[in-house]
Amino acid sequence: MNEAAKTQLDTSTIPVVETRNLVRTFQAGELEVHALRGVDLVINRGEFVAIAGPSGSGKTTLFNLIGGLDDPTSGEVLVDQVKLAGMSRKDLSMLRLEKVGFVFQAYNLIPVLTAYENVEYPLLLRRIAPDERRRRVTRMLDAVGLSEMMHRRPSRMSGGQQQRVAVARALVTQPAVVLADEPTANLDSETGKALMELMRTLNQEEQTTFLFSTHDPMVMEESRRLIRLKDGNIDSDELQEG
């Protein structure tokens, strides 16, 4: 096999997220806050990455920029090799719907919908055919161990179960990357560890790329790559065993 063919087949070297000299400053009264100070980052397909750092280090800002929820002061963001700069709000919404799955610490489920309906909702927005919706939703609920609870509403589920629904919803669109913002923050340690093991299994089986923002030492330990931010810069970036 020639080198070009090898490169084409090795999907692990395909960048899913890139930031190039990413800068974000905010004006707080007369004070200029430098949230990010020229961050260069590449996340390849299939990685399982934690971004850690103290409050004010730039984690949330970085996630908001990668997810197209905010605009950089300067620099570039690419998601699945698509540049976000210059995109309309409508196009950014479509990019998020098609390429980015979000898992929030507060779950963000729709309370009047069942687990099945919450997971199905982004597929409805994408106008996926009913048979395909049913196949994807039942498969993802089975993958997260909630097949028997698919008709329950969030109020009748534990925090860990709700977060599993949120993971299924994030994955059902088959996104290029899942952004998980403090996914274990509202869970006890045992439930949080079980959730991380679930996401790691899905990462291995589906080759879904996961990017976590976290303060949780357990999430850092479970991740295969740990990036630490400090004062808006990457302080360290290392691969981990396991």
* Contact between residue 16 and residue 80 where contact means Cβ atoms under 8 Å apart: yes
- Evaluate whether residue 177 is within a structural domain: yes
Cα atoms found within 13 Å of the Cα of residue 16, Cβ hemisphere only:
23
Instruction: State the Cα–Cα distance between residues 102 and 119, nearest whole angstrom.
Output: 12
DSSP 196-231: HHHHHHHHHHH--EEEEEE--HHHHHH-SEEEEEET
- Evaluate whether residue 119 is within a structural domain: yes
* Contact between residue 60 and residue 213 where contact means Cβ atoms under 8 Å apart: yes
pLDDT above 60: residue 1: no
- Evaluate whether residue 6 is within a structural domain: no
Q: Give strand pairing partners of 17.
A: 43, 79
* Contact between residue 77 and residue 18 where contact means Cβ atoms under 8 Å apart: yes
Overall number of domains in the chain = 1
- Evaluate whether residue 184 is within a structural domain: yes
| H-helix or E-strand spanning residue 194 | helix 189-206
* Contact between residue 206 and residue 136 where contact means Cβ atoms under 8 Å apart: no
Query: CATH number of the domain that 53 lies in?
Result: 3.40.50.300
Question: What percent of the chain has a predicted confidence (pLDDT) above 90?
Answer: 81
pLDDT above 60: residue 192: yes
pLDDT above 70: residue 103: yes
pLDDT given for residue 242 in this prediction: 64
- Evaluate whether residue 232 is within a structural domain: yes
Assessment of whether the complete model's pTM goes beyond 0.85: yes
Q: Give strand pairing partners of 18.
A: 42, 78
pLDDT, average across residues 187-212: 91
Query: Which residue, among 206, 146, 147, has the nearest Cα to 171 in the 3D structure?
Result: 206
Instruction: State the Cα–Cα distance between residues 180 and 228, nearest whole angstrom.
Output: 16
Return the SS3 of 85. Answer: coil
pLDDT above 90: residue 5: no
- Evaluate whether residue 5 is within a structural domain: no
pLDDT, average across residues 3-14: 53
The residue with tokens 């063919």 is 5
The burial of 134, by beta-carbon neighbours within 10 Å (0-12 exposed, 13-18 middle, 19 or more buried), is given as: middle
Query: Which residue, among 174, 119, 107, has the nearest Cα to 149 in the 3D structure?
Result: 119
Query: Which residue, among 60, 10, 51, 66, has the nearest Cα to 207 in the 3D structure?
Result: 10
Instruction: State the Cα–Cα distance between residues 92 and 89, nearest whole angstrom.
Output: 5
- Evaluate whether residue 1 is within a structural domain: no
Residue 205, domain extent: 14-239
- Evaluate whether residue 7 is within a structural domain: no
pLDDT above 90: residue 51: yes
